[in-house]
Structure 1
């Protein structure tokens, strides 16, 4: 019998797609990295299916090529996850990417930032600006991946640093209030938040 593979999101491996929870049964196997809590929740002998639960996308892809049906957690389609996964793979598999450092990437970072500025100044169409911003995002992803390799921080930490900065400098975005905040208040709160950071 061909197994159905449930590919969980490695970021949140305990989140089981609700539409599948009642279908999983019979012979249920797990790859080693799947948390014990998932094993307890899904280890059932009821039913006649054959399931493999994993977070290993490469393993799931190989099984799919061999004829298995793969059910994927919807969160795996998240563009941010796809972007960070793509950068991780590029760094692991590309010779050029492996040779790069923060310093050797500086000319590319400057070039991409300038191209975004040029696209804005020229009044480019949205698609061109989107592509230039994607090139700049690649630089952010690359630097975050390099930092992650040395255990310093990763892209999620960069995103969190942005949110924390906004909490300090624009607290009205997080206090449950609504409505327009005047520029004078924004400037004052921004300056106060920045002063507290020093």
Structure 2
């Protein structure tokens, strides 16, 4: 049996599942706690089906799991792509034209931190994230880079400056050692950049 984990608010069904149940007529078992009706698609339900659909990550089944829940970061990238693709104002923006907004959102995030209000911190950090998404989408449309490249840049930096995160070791790293490794990594990066 294959367990498909979905978000009940945004039920996305994988292609392999649809091919099996629509193409081969396989039946589906739907978690009794999940208000999902697939009968309009002509999908048969059965208690002994090869597919089990649930929204509960703690479903208790030990079968193969297919997590079909939309990833919030991927959804955010899609929303920003649509915004820049359809909004006249967004289409006209450049890295330079967005500088005042980045400053404003950064300041508001700092104010939220100083206020200690966790809900406000989350909200304002979302606004800073919007700026990251916006700049990445502008770059992607120019064929320069995209959000995944930004994430890869972060991971590469951490490989260089915090190698203990990737060497299989565990435990706390002393602050002095962190500072030493950070400086060493930064110097190595600068040397490589100067030689390029």
TM-score interval, smaller chain: 0.5 to 0.7
Out of 78, 83, 94, the residue aligned to residue 85 of structure 1 is 78
Q: What residue number does 2:176 align with?
A: 184
What is the DSSP-based 3-state SS (H/G/I as helix, E as strand, rest coil) of the residue aligned with 1:102?
coil
Distance 1:80 1:26, change over 3 A: closer
- Return the alpha-carbon distance in structure 2 between the equivalents of residues 156 and 130 of structure 1: 22
- Describe how 1:21-170 pairs up with structure 2 within 5 A: 24=20, 27=23, 47-48=24-25, 68=41, 74-75=67-68, 77-123=70-116, 125-170=117-162
Distance 2:21 2:132 in 1: 43
The aligned length equals 145
Change (3 A) 1:102 1:126: same
Cα distance change on mapping 1:69 and 1:159 into 2, 3 Å: farther
Give the unaligned 5+ runs of structure 2: 1-11, 27-39, 44-52, 54-65, 191-196
Deviation of 1:26 (Å) = 6.4
Dislocated runs of 4+, deviation >4 Å? 5-8, 67-71
- CA drift of 1:74 comes to 3.7
Deviation at 1:48, TM superposition (A): 3.8
Offset of residue 119 of structure 1: 1.0
TM superposition shift of 1:121: 1.6
- Contact 1:168/1:193 (<8 A) preserved: yes
Superposition RMSD in Å: 2.5
Give TM-score scaled by structure 2 length. Answer: 0.67
What is the distance in 2 between the residues matched to 1:99 and 1:68?
42
Return closer, same or farther for 1:157/1:88 CA change in 2, 3 Å cut-off: same
1:118 CA drift (Å): 1.0
Report the TM-score when normalising by structure 1: 0.66
Q: Secondary structure at the match of 1:103?
A: coil
Give the unaligned 5+ runs of structure 1: 9-15, 28-46, 50-66
- Does the C-alpha gap of structure 1 residues 159 and 182 become closer, same or farther in structure 2, counting only changes over 3 Å? same
